[in-house]
Structure formats: C-alpha cells, structure tokens
C-alpha cells in the first residue's frame, strides 16, 4: 500500500538516481509486524495443506475401504483425519488471532499520530470536511485486518496447488478446475470495477451528512430559537436518501457478484463430479478420484468466493488506508528535542506574514516588532485587521507563511513542544474548555499538577472565590465543553489556565469580552503580576479598558502595522480617530475621560 520509489533528477554527468520516500507511520507499523505476517503466511500454507485432508480421506475411502470392506482401515483413516482436522481448526484460529493482533498493533502504533491529526489538521489546512475522519479511517483499517478478509488474500496464492492436484488426477478435471478458477477471478476483477465508484460515492455522501449533523449539534441553540431544524431536517433526509441509494447500488452489485460466485462454485463442483463420473465409466479414473476432485475443486475456489464476499470491506479499507497514509505523511514533522534555556528576555517578531489555514491570501503582512521582559503590549485596530491572526501566530497555533516569531532569539519551531507549552499561556477569543474538572482544565490536564499552583493561577485570574463559592470547588465537573458555566465564568477559568505555571509569554485575545467590572479589575491585576515577575503580556482588545496595565501599543489596519510605541503616545491618537470617550490610563493611573466624540 506504500508509494514506490520516486525518480530524482540527476545532475550533469551523473547517472539517474532514485529518491525513496521515507516510510509513513502506517507503513512503518506494518513493517514492524513483518514477522507476524510471515507467521500468518506459514500458518496459511499449513492450513491449506491440511485442507487436503477431506479430499484424500474420500479418495482412500472409495478406493481402499469400500473395495476391501476393511473397517480397521476406515477406523485408522478416520483417526488420522480427525487429528488433522483438529490441527486445521487450531491453526486457523491461531492465524485469525494473529491477524487481530496485527490490527491492534497498527492501532497502538499510530493512534497517537491519528489523535494529533484531529487537532493539527485544522491548524494547517483549515477545518476538515469530517473532523473525525482520521479516527474512522484507522478503525476501518484495523477492522479489516482483524476480520476474515485477509485470510482470503493469504489463501489465494494456494489456488494453483489445488488446480495442479486436479491435473494430477486427470487433465480433464484439471482443465475444468482451471477454467472455473479463471472465471471466478474474472468475476472478482469485474466486481472491483463495478463496486469502486458506488463505494466512493457512498463515502463522499456520508462525509457530507456527517458535516451536516455535526453543524446541527454545534448550533443546537440557534436551531431551536430560529426554527432552522425543519429545514436542516429536510437536507438531512435528502442526504440520507442519497447515501442509501449509493449503498444500495454497491450492495446490490456486491451481493449479486457474491451470489454469482456461489452459483459458479456449485456448478463447477457438480461439473467436475460429472466429468469424474464420465472418466469412471470409461475406467480412466476411480470413484475416489471423482469424489476427491469435486471436493478439491470446491476448496480451490473457496478463497475467491470469500474475497468476493468481503470485497466492499477491502475497498473501504483501501480508501481509508490511502486517506490516513496521505494525512500522516503531510503532517509528519520532526519535533524539536533539544531543551533550551527558559526564555527570560524578549519576544521578537520579524517580517511576519500569516495566511490562515485553508486560505490563499495573507491577513498579516510583514509585521516586525520587539517586546522586552516586564512589558505588556496592547494590540488594537478595526475588525479584520489581523489582530487575532497575530495572536495565533505568536503562540505557534498558525505557522508563519514568512518571517518568524522568536523567544530570546530562538524561533518557536526550535523549542520542544512540551517546553514551549510551559512557557506560553494563551486565552483565545472563543474560550473552549474540556470535559473534566475545573482543576484539570486550569492545570492543562497535567497529571502531576501542583494543587497550590492551580489555586495560585485562579487567584491571579480573580477566579478563586467564584470557584469555591459558586462552582462547588476545584473538583467540580464542568460538563461537556463547560456547558454548565456562563461565558464570563469560562473566560475567567480560561484566563487562569493561561496563567498556570507562570509562563513567560501570555497572549490574551479579547480577554474582557465577557467580564464585568470586577473581572476587568482582576484582569488588570493579572497583567501587572505577569509584568512584575518579568514576563511578557500581549493583549488583543477592542475595549480600551483591557489595556489599563499595558505600556506598549501596536495598531493594525488592513493586516499591516500602522504604529507601534508607548501607550501614552499611540492610544490617544487611535481613540481620537475613532471618536471614543474613554482613554485607557497608564499602568498606575486611573481612567481618563475625554469630552469630544461619542460614547
């Protein structure tokens, strides 16, 4: 299933070379199971040899026991056949268990990378059509490897052995078995050609329906308030009808071909029996050969019939393999592993250009600035000026299209992921919490979290009293996505999460959008606390009240920096231009009021 070697253009005077693609995570995991696959192959060979027990038992019964009327010979043959059948069943169960272990090993090898795909794909390519698709693909591949489908693939190479034995019995019997095998193989190829398109269509329609249902779940309140549900229900019904139609086409074709293969096998078995009868009448073969060749031919065609019965599963698993393999190859990156000294001096942005995932045009152009430890930067500007895009680039959520973001001179990709997570705190504009307790969310689900550090972060965010008095304590479960909390409570807990562990860089995107006056006061104290311990704070804000504790201001417009400097110089100019009455004070002063403009 892996891609083959890719040609590489040779230089002058050099022989053409081949560039071999590195194995993907899926290919590597299967290679790790090569010994197990070899064992399954060996077991399949023994199982197929033991499958000859039935034909040869019938051959001996008809050619030895019946003519000689020897019951002891029959008893001995039955004992030997029973022993061989026992080994046949034992080894068949063993190879099925090994295939199940291969599927489990594949899951264990790539489950972490597959989970990373679920959240990394939106950061690199925008929101995927089906967010859970990588996990579904992994389940599909594992399910196929753990099923009976692969046994047909391991049994198919032994088909020539059975056909060859039929030729040993008699050339006519062998010719009948060969024609029958070629006919069924043709049916299998025809099934591939006919089923591929309906299976692909069903997958695409199912993805569209999944997107619709996920959107309905995310927007349940809107659907209820504005009576959108009946219209989406109609779309869902139409999509389901299309899905059922595509599945019906693939099922009809697959079931029809499977039935055809069964009929052909039965016809072939009877035909071989008839040919054998003619040969017996002509005294060119024995009755034992007649019966044994019929059973042998049926056994030869059984893997083809089994492959046809599981062909749709094979096609679905192949599509899932290709999708997952392509996604893993694209997302594969070598993470930084060298621990760097903890940042303590600067945040520098150099010629930063940002293109949102899945988009073509940049929303931030050539931004450059530098912030020293102990400072707080306020980012202001009209809507769609690139403020949130800058915030995402500062914390490494969006990779720069050009330029770089650096802490103490080291670009973000140079920092190991775990270390970077400790030195950065981030409060996004839309605060999302995870299912779990308040303490788990604040500590970022650190299993070794210090309870004192959790409480300290919540105190810094002004959320401690709210948690212990109104939310039932730090061990209270907040439900799925924090559904039991108000928007303001989620924002305070999100702020505490950003402050947990005293990170060097704290980026806050619209941190006061859902806060009351007490919350804004706590936000100001939190920013001052980060500055006092030598950290850096970046605050993206529309409301000047969020900028009380900052000393620097950066103004964006149309994705470009318009001005950057001390707050007392930049912010009044911006407020006068926008007609605001409120001017954020200096870090130590009270709010100032302007008389001009509108509120």
413 in any annotated domain: yes
In terms of domains, do 367 and 246 share one?
no
Same domain assignment for residues 377 and 446: yes
Q: In whole angstroms, give the CA distance from residue 133 to residue 320.
A: 9
- Residue at which a domain ends, from 329, 361, 385: 329
Task: Give the tokens for residue 149.
Answer: 């489908």
- Domain boundary among the residues 266, 300, 329 is at 329
Residue 178 and residue 172: Cα distance in Å, rounded?
A: 10
Specify if 497 maps to a domain: yes
DSSP code, position 317: H
The verdict on 123 and 247 lying in the same domain is: yes
Verify that 301 and 396 share a domain, yes or no: no
- Going from the C-alpha of 368 to that of each of 344, 348, 349, 552, 561, the distances in angstroms are 20, 8, 5, 14, 8
Report how far residue 355's alpha carbon sits from residue 106's, in angstroms, rounded to the nearest whole number: 35
The pLDDT assigned to 581 comes to 45
Inside any domain, residue 102: yes
358 and 466 share one domain: yes
CB atoms within 10 A of CB 593: 8
**Residue ending a domain, choose from 329, 355, 381:** 329
Neighbours of 108 (CB within 10 A): 11
Where residue 392 sits, what CATH number does that domain have?
A: 3.40.50.300
The predicted structure's pLDDT at residue 599: 26
Same domain, 367 and 503: yes
Tokens of 236: 């869902």
**Model pLDDT, residue 14:** 44
**357 and 266 in a common domain:** no
Question: pLDDT tens for residues 352-395?
Answer: 999 988 788 999 999 999 999 999 999 998 888 899 999 999 99
CB 481 within 8 A of CB 445: no
Q: Which of 536, 516, 559, 517 is nearest to 384 (CA)?
A: 559
Q: Helix-strand-coil percent breakdown of the chain, rounded to 5?
A: 60, 10, 25
Residues 378 and 505: their CA atoms lie apart, in Å, by 13
Name every residue whose Cβ is closer than 8 Å to that of residue 67 and which is 6 or more positions away in sequence: none
Closest CA relative to residue 364, chosen from 416, 399, 409:
399
Cβ–Cβ under 8 Å, residues 594 and 575 = yes
Same domain, 362 and 285: no
Sign of CA dihedral 378, 442, 113, 119: negative
Residue 269 has φ and ψ, to the nearest 5°, of -60, -45
| 145 contacts 102 by C-beta, under 8 angstroms | yes
| 402-407 sheet: strands from edge to edge | 364-372, 346-354, 402-407, 410-411
Instruction: Count CB neighbours of 523 within 10 A.
Output: 25
455: left (phi over 0), alpha (psi -120 to 50) or beta: alpha
The DSSP line for 323-390 is: HHHHHHHHH------S--PPP-SEEEEEEEEE--TT-SS-SEEEEEEEEETT-EEEEE-STTSSHHHH
- Phi, psi torsion values for 493, nearest 5 degrees: -65, -35
Give Cα 547 distance to the centre of its chain.
40
Note whether 200 and 324 are same-domain residues: yes
> Does an H or E element contain 208, and which?
helix 171-218
Pairing between β-strand 582-583 and β-strand 592-593 as defined by DSSP bridges: antiparallel
Q: How far is CA 410 from CA 348, 396, 406, 418, 508, in A?
A: 9, 13, 5, 15, 22
How many Å apart are CA 584 and CA 567, to the nearest integer? 9
559 shares a domain with 490: yes
Q: Which residues of the chain have pLDDT under 70?
A: 1-24, 122, 124-131, 218, 221, 332-336, 481, 578-599
**Burial per residue of 221-235, b for 16 or more beta-carbon CB atoms within 10 angstroms, e otherwise:** eebeeeeeeeeeeee
* Within-domain flag for 181: yes
- Reported as type and span, the H/E element at residue 539 is strand 536-540
**Domain-embedded: residue 588:** no
Is residue 16 domain-resident? Answer: no
Q: Please state the domain count of the chain.
A: 2
Smallest CA-to-CA distance from 311 within 66, 421, 147, 501 is with 147
pLDDT of residue 13: 42
Domain assignment present for residue 587? The answer is no
At 586 the pLDDT is 47
Rounded-to-integer distance, Cα 267 and Cα 137, Å: 39
Residues 465 and 317 in one domain: no
Cβ atoms of 44 and 91 closer than 8 Å: no
User: Which is nearest to 228 in space by CA: 238, 215, 241, 245?
Assistant: 215
Name beta bridge partners: 561. 556
What span, in angstroms and rounded, lies between the C-alpha atoms of 491 and 427? Answer: 8
CATH number where 33 lies: 1.20.1560.10
What integer pLDDT is reported at residue 334 of this predicted model? 59
pLDDT for residue 471:
84
By the 8 A CB rule, do 72 and 186 touch? no
What number of helices (H) and strands (E) belong to the chain?
A: 21, 14
- Are 103 and 225 part of one and the same domain? yes
Let me know the angle formed at the C-alpha of 192 by 188 and 195, rounded to the nearest 5 degrees. 120
User: Bridge partners of 507?
Assistant: 426, 538
The string of DSSP codes covering 356-367 is -TT-SS-SEEEE
Q: Could you write out the DSSP letters of every residue in 54-115? A: HHHHHHHIIIIIHHHT-HHHHHHHHHHHHHHHHHHHHHHHHHHHHHHHHHHHHHHHHHHHHH
Alpha-carbon distance of 510 to 519, in angstroms, equals 13
Reduce the secondary structure of 424-466 to three states and give it as a string.
EEEECCCCCCCCCEHHHHHCCCCCCCCHHHHHHHHHHCCCHHH
User: Residue 250's pLDDT is what?
Assistant: 78
Backbone angles phi, psi at 507, to 5 degrees: -115, 120
Range of the domain at 66: 25-329
234 within some domain: yes
E strand map for 243-354: 346-354
Compute the distance between CA of residue 588 and CA of residue 45 in angstroms, rounded to an integer.
83
């Amino acid at each position: 299933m892996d891609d083959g070697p890719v040609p590489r253009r040779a230089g002058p005077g050099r022989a053409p070379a081949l560039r071999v693609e590195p194995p993907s995570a899926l290919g590597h995991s299967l290679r790790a199971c090569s010994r197990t696959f070899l064992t399954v192959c060996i077991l399949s060979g023994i199982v197929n040899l033991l499958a000859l027990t039935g034909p040869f038992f019938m051959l001996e019964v008809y050619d030895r026991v019946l003519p000689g009327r020897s019951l002891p010979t029959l008893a001995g043959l039955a004992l030997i056949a029973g022993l061989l059948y026992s080994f046949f069943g034992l080894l068949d169960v063993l190879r099925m268990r090994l295939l199940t272990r291969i599927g489990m090993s594949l899951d264990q090898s790539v489950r972490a990378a597959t989970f990373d795909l679920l959240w990394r794909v939106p950061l690199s390519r925008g929101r995927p059509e089906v967010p859970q698709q990588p996990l579904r693909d992994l389940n599909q591949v594992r399910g196929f490897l753990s099923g009976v489908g692969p046994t047909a693939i391991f049994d198919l190479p032994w088909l020539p052995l059975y056909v060859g034995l039929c030729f040993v019995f008699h050339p006519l019997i062998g010719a009948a078995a060969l024609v029958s095998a070629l006919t069924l193989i043709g049916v299998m190829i025809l099934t591939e050609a006919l089923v591929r398109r309906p299976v692909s269509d069903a997958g695409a329609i199912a993805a569209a329906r999944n997107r619709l249902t996920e959107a309905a779940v995310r927007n349940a309140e809107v659907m209820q308030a504005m009576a959108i549900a009946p219209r989406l229900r109609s779309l869902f019904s139409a999509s389901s009808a299309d899905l059922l139609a595509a599945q019906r086409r693939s099922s009809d074709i697959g079931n029809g071909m499977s039935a055809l293969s069964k009929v052909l096998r039965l016809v072939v078995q009877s035909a071989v029996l008839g040919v054998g009868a003619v040969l017996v009448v002509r005294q060119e073969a024995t009755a034992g050969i007649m019966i044994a060749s019929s059973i042998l031919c049926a056994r030869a065609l059984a893997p083809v019939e089994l492959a046809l019965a599981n062909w749709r599963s094979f096609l679905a698993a192949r599509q899932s393999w290709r999708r997952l393999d392509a996604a893993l190859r694209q997302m594969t990156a070598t993470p930084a592993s060298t621990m760097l000294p903890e940042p303590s001096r600067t945040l520098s942005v150099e010629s930063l250009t940002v293109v949102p995932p899945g988009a073509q045009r940049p929303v931030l152009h050539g931004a450059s600035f530098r912030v020293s430890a102990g400072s707080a930067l306020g980012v202001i500007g009209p809507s769609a000026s690139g403020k949130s895009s800058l915030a995402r680039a500062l914390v490494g959520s969006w990779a720069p299209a050009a330029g770089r973001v650096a802490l103490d001179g080291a670009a973000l990709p140079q920092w190991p992921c775990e270390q970077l997570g400790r030195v950065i705190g981030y409060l996004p504009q839309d605060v999302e919490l995870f299912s779990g307790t308040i303490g788990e969310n604040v500590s970022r689900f650190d299993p070794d979290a210090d309870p004192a550090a959790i409480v300290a972060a919540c105190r810094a965010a002004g959320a401690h009293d709210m948690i212990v008095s109104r939310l039932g304590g730090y061990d209270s479960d907040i439900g799925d996505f924090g559904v039991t909390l108000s928007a303001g409570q989620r924002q305070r807990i999100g702020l505490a999460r950003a402050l947990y562990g005293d990170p060097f860089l704290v980026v806050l995107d619209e941190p006061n959008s859902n806060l009351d006056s007490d919350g804004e006061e706590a936000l100001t104290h939190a920013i001052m606390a980060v500055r006092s311990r030598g950290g850096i704070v970046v605050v993206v804000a529309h409301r000047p009240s969020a900028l009380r504790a900052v000393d620097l201001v950066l103004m964006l417009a149309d994705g470009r920096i318009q001005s950057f400097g001390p707050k007392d110089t930049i912010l009044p100019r911006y407020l006068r231009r926008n007609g605001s009455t409120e001017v954020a004070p200096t870090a130590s002063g009270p709010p100032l009021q302007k008389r001009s403009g509108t509120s």
